[in-house]
Amino acid sequence: MEFLFRRSYRGSLKGAILDWAGTTMDYGVYAPVVVFLEVFRRQGVEITMAEARAPMGMHKKEHLRRIAESPAVSARWRQVKGREVQAEDIETMFADFVPLQLACLARYAQLIPGSLEALADFRARRMLTGTTTGYTRVMVDVVLEEARRQGYAPDCTVAADEVPAGRPAPYACWKIAIQLRVWPAEACIKIGDTVPDIGEGLNAGMWTIALALTGNEVGLNEQEVRALAPEERQRKTRAAAERLAAAGAHYVVEGIWDLPPVIDEINRRLASGEKP
């Protein structure tokens, strides 16, 4: 009989890597969406909120490209322009996007309820915190300043233009782990509200927790969510949770306020030798 032995980490979680919009601030992820709508409008091409949201979580230039190349938007583009979208069009739109996004970020920077409590819980557990994002550095610097004014200050952050490729590539998560000096990968959790968030965490070898209600999948701000009938809120949350679970999330919860028991469960699984 042959015996196989597997080396396993049996400690607790050391690091939490969080997204921004839809996870810790900007309930419903409105800041980028309103700008995507305006950028395409400037080209004479109208897009819907759903089309603007579809690639959410990616580097914003790649996000623009994905919107433009979607079948419905591509058809509208050809109708207006008489040709396919070109690389130069993406560059032009991204040049428009950056100042428009910078101008409106602060308006959508309110922390999501539970964010400060989650940060305090991480610190009580001696976990370090980092953030990854589809925003570029100039954008995330605005977000960081607004967050700090409200008492939210992660230990480090990596922007989409500071790594070889944005989500779902794992580079930003790995760079955070290097900066925080936390390892192995299974000692970290990636928390976010989009499919690319989940892909990023999985590709980095980390546990992933998806937030269904506060993020891009439901796409409603806190006031709009409160106005929903209970059964409609449940329906929208369930549909969002199913999409995020199908993307491979280890856990799906409504919002950041639901994290503590999930972290406890992951720590129990780590103690028994499980990996993501």
Beta bridge partners of 156: 130
Query: Would you call 60 a catalytic residue per the annotation?
Result: yes
Q: Are 143 and 109 in contact (CB under 8 A)?
A: yes
Contacts of 113 (CB under 8 A, 6+ apart): 222, 255, 257
14 C-beta neighbours (distance < 10 Å), count: 20
Q: Starting from the edge strand earliest in sequence, which strands make up the sheet with 188-192, in order?
A: 156-158, 128-132, 15-18, 188-192, 207-211, 251-253
274 C-beta neighbours (distance < 10 Å), count: 14
The Cα–Cα gap between 257 and 263 comes to: 12
The Cα–Cα gap between 208 and 190 comes to: 5
234 C-beta neighbours (distance < 10 Å), count: 11
Residue type (1 letter), 43: Q
Which of 14, 60, 190, 236 is catalytic? The answer is 60
Q: What distances in angstroms separate CA 94 from CA 50, 82, 158, 254, one per listed residue?
A: 19, 21, 20, 32
Which of 14, 19, 89, 155 is catalytic? The answer is 19
Query: Would you call 19 a catalytic residue per the annotation?
Result: yes
Catalytic machinery residues:
19, 60
